[in-house]
């Protein structure tokens, strides 16, 4: 009789949970082939639980690693030690990690020391600048050195790995699993009137006006490299836009990190057409994303999600590991200087032709079948 393979999926942040949720569901359904367990580190706490709830997932292990004023060294070492305890107690055939987080790198290193194979989802993205994004670029590169299976969203990502000497036989182009998650949620909302009403009611509780009949910009920001001066510039640019365009709403779900929360509330907390709201569950966020004029962000995942709704993205970073979106014309890198951010938003708001020009017909990051491809690869190779 064929032996079931024990698989551990490890993640710690909200984006990881969203991107791995469709794959987790598929693995758990494959009961003849796999015994799948989920371990969360709790690198994000409240935001992570929110994402798990949306996708009806529960963790089997919660490492609860977050502490007040924790630095990267203590976080990394704590994850390594706690993951070691989990994998010592269980005989895992494979551990699956995602992307570029401290959770993914620390898990990969701990598994490497214990000689457990790693599968890296969203492999091969690169800026080749270790300071941007920091520390994510280094995490990603190290994950590639430590992994056996490399699931690359695009051809360009796979080529990066080949150029770095990764064996071609271990690289698989799958598309990005975030598109699987997005299309799953979109279908859930579109096909269920009660769900759509629930989502709109949730938004109404945050925004006390007729937001559905008013144009709005969606903003997200949390990157470490923008802490300090970067966030001050971002806030001042948003404030300037809000004054020039009083009939345009700006909706900003603010990250819970105090280094984000504090400057954002200080500069933007009392403006009538700026709505600083709590981090949204994924269903609500996706619905807002589908309705906005454009997105202003320093995030990675939104660069992949927004093209599914033909929404232009202004990225407040100097470099991105998601170059396909720039090539398609729907994403524009604008950095974090105040005047440049203001100028680019002003261009999109002043003439609709510029927004229309940025819209793409096809999302370069996938068609919603990445998780199924990964599952089939694992069935063939484990």
Active site residues: 100, 122, 136, 222, 224, 255
**Which tokens hold the place of 61?**
């292990």
User: 311 phi and psi, to 5 degrees?
Assistant: -105, 120
Q: Which of 133, 162, 144, 62 is nearest to 105 (CA)?
A: 144
Q: Which of 296, 313, 271 is nearest to 221 (CA)?
A: 296
CA distance 266 to 252: 14
CA distance 265 to 280: 17
Spacing of C-alpha 242 from chain mean position = 27
Helix (H) or strand (E) holding 251: strand 249-253
Task: Specify the long-range contacts of residues 192-201, CB closer than 8 Å, at least 24 apart.
Answer: 195/283, 196/287, 199/283, 199/284, 199/287, 200/287
Name the residue with tokens 């791995």: 20
Q: Which residues contact 70 (CB under 8 A, 6 or more apart)?
A: none
**Which tokens hold the place of 215?**
């144009």
Question: How many Cα atoms are found within 13 Å in the side-chain-facing hemisphere of 236?
Answer: 11
CA distance 246 to 241: 8
**Which tokens hold the place of 197?**
């009403």
**CB of 306 within 8 A of CB of 365?**
no
Question: How many Cα atoms are found within 13 Å in the side-chain-facing hemisphere of 27?
Answer: 25
CA distance 185 to 280: 14
């Amino acid at each position: 009789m064929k032996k079931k393979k024990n698989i551990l999926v490890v993640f710690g942040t909200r984006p990881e949970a969203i991107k791995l949720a469709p794959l987790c569901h598929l693995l758990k359904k494959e009961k003849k082939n796999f015994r799948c367990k989920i371990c969360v580190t709790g690198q994000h706490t409240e935001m992570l639980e929110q994402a798990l709830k949306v996708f009806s997932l529960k963790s089997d292990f919660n490492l609860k690693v977050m502490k007040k004023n924790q630095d990267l060294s203590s976080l990394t070492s704590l994850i390594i030690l706690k993951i070691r305890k989990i994998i010592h107690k269980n005989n895992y055939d494979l551990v699956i990690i995602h992307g570029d987080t401290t959770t993914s790198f620390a898990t990969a290193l701990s598994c490497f020391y214990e000689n457990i194979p790693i599968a890296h989802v969203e492999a091969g993205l690169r800026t080749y600048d270790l300071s941007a994004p920091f520390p994510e670029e280094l995490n990603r590169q190290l994950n590639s050195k430590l992994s056996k299976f490399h699931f690359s969203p695009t051809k360009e990502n796979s080529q990066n790995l080949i150029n770095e000497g990764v064996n071609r036989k271990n690289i698989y182009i799958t598309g990005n699993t975030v598109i699987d998650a997005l299309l799953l949620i979109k279908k859930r909302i579109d096909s269920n009137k009660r769900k759509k009403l629930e989502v709109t009611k949730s938004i109404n509780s945050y925004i006390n006006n007729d937001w559905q009949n008013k144009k709005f910009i969606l903003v997200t920001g949390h990157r470490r490299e923008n802490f300090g001066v970067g966030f001050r510039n971002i806030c001042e640019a948003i404030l300037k836009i809000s004054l020039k365009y009083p009939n345009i709403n700006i909706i900003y779900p603010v990250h819970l990190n105090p280094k984000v929360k504090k400057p954002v509330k200080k500069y933007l907390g009392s403006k009538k057409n700026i709505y600083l709201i709590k981090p949204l569950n994924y269903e609500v966020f996706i619905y807002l994303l589908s309705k906005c004029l454009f997105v202003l962000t320093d995030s990675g995942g939104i660069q992949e999600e927004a093209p599914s709704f033909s929404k232009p993205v202004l990225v407040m970073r100097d470099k991105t590991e998601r170059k396909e979106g720039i090539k398609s014309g729907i994403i524009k890198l604008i950095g974090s200087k105040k005047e440049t951010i203001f100028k680019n938003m002003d261009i999109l708001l002043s003439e609709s032709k510029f927004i229309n020009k940025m819209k793409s017909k096809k999302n370069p990051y996938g068609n919603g079948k990445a998780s199924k491809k990964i599952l089939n690869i694992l069935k063939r190779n484990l």
